[in-house]
Amino acid sequence: MIARLLLVFLLSVPCARGATEIQFWHAMSGALGEQAEALVQRFNASQDEVRVVTAFKGGYDETLQSALAAQLAGKGPHIVQVYDGGTANMVEAKHTARPLWQVMAEAGQHFDARAYMPAVASYFSDDKGRLLALPFNTSTPVLYYNKDAFRRAKLDPEKPPKTWYEIIAMLGELSDSGRRCAYVTAYPSWVLLENMSAWHNQEFATKENGLGGTGARLNFNTRLMVRWISMLNTWVKSGYFTPTGRTNEAERKFVSGECSVLTTTSAAYAQLRRDAKFDFGVAQLPYYDDFPEAPQNTLIGGAGLWAMEGKKPAEYRAVARFFAFLSQPEVQAEWHERTGYVPITRAAYERARDEGFYARNPGYEVAIRQLLLRNPTRDSKGIRLGFMPQIRNIIEEELEAVWAQRKTPKDALDAAVARGNDLLQRFELAHRHGR
């Protein structure tokens, strides 16, 4: 309702003669890129006062760096898609981005963050709860399991594991039935450490995981994490867990039928459904049921849309109009259904539910239920740290040393924290001096 009223208001704002052109740089390719382009074309066709021109700039890192470099040269786009790992750069960089709430306020209407999923809005908000960027393509990790493999192992395919304790026996049965690869995960840092911390309401870094500002320090070398990585290491030794890589290599091993249980992004659902030649299910991410605060809520991954600084008032009104269009429940519901990303507003979720989408596609709703399970806490709102891509690389390098039996879980986690904190100090020094 809020987004719809905002759209009506913005449509009533007089526009300059001729279409106002705004540049939108993004990092979406393949089928997802096609859906993003279709969304823009739909907006352009819906009116003749604003024309959005898209430009694919490569992967997330390339898109962010291209936008920052262009901004310094005074030639930046109006809108840039920035992934979660680059959010701290946008927040801390001076004179780079104009907050979403300000763009909307200057267009004559405040943008109410309460219309958005709490776990989504909290990550993109400032300490006053105002949205800094428009959540766009967001997801969270879930568990996929091969129902056919479960049947062959004489496991109930309609009863996926709820806890990490339950899954141990299942992995053993899968291995005994001849499965060479029982469990595999994509994006190890994001799934195994970042989300496991939030899912159990455990601190990943100080200062609200960095959302409280600079000066945060990593401290995920906790009792939970040492215990968790130790358990995974025993699974490596027993053949229950097969480390595969740092991105989505695990998805290919699952969809080929080689591996039976997978943890990865909820946004992989549509692609897995298209490619898998077997029956599979989607389940909630398991947790330790002897942690009293678990399960809490999982974290979002993906990206938001940022408005860049230095544009003309008419151009910001055009940006606000495009953002209002993207926030309409019907547009959001369609984007969610076609891509597998979670809907960013409650209204979009309710629309998809009321239209029977989840009754027909139950796997899509698992991620949303995880995000809505509880209101986010200071330890589960998100992780916003400088040099986050590099910190993830460090974490994954240290985990690989554990899987190779070169380090103990505690030594590896301690090393990851120390090395990551060195990077955070460098990030703070660089931004303190305006670089």
Taking only the tens place, the pLDDT of each residue in 322-347 is 999 999 999 999 999 999 899 989 99
Residue 290 and residue 198 share a domain:
yes
Global pTM reads 0.90
54 within 8 A of 61, measured Cβ to Cβ:
no
Residue 203 and residue 75 share a domain:
no
Residue 69 and residue 7 share a domain:
yes
Average pLDDT, the chain: 92
Residue 254 and residue 348 share a domain:
no
Taking only the tens place, the pLDDT of each residue in 108-123 is 866 777 888 888 888 8
**What count of residues does the chain have?**
435
CATH of residue 175's domain is 3.40.190.10
Please list the residues that pair with 26 across neighbouring strands.
56
What confidence score (pLDDT) does residue 109 get?
Answer: 67
- Alpha-carbon distance of 259 to 264, in angstroms, equals 13
Domain count, the chain: 2
Last residue of a domain, one of 354, 389, 420: 354
Q: How many degrees, rounded to 5, is the angle at CA 12 between CA 11 and CA 17? A: 85
Residue 158 and residue 132 share a domain:
no
Question: Half-sphere exposure of residue 180, counting CA atoms within 13 Å on the CB side?
Answer: 5
Q: Per-residue pLDDT for 317 more than 90?
A: yes
Q: Per-residue pLDDT for 434 more than 60?
A: no
| 92 domain-assigned | yes
Domain of 270, in residue numbers: 141-298+378-432
Q: What is the DSSP string of 307-344?
A: EESS--HHHHHHHHHHHHHHTSHHHHHHHHHHH-PPPS
Span 374-390, average pLDDT: 94
Residue 119 and residue 91 share a domain:
yes
| 361 domain-assigned | no
- Per-residue pLDDT band for 3 (boundaries 50, 70, 90) equals very low
Residue 152 and residue 89 share a domain:
no
Q: What is the DSSP string of 142-154?
A: EEEEEHHHHHHTT
Q: Of residues 435 and 137, which shows the higher confidence score?
A: 137
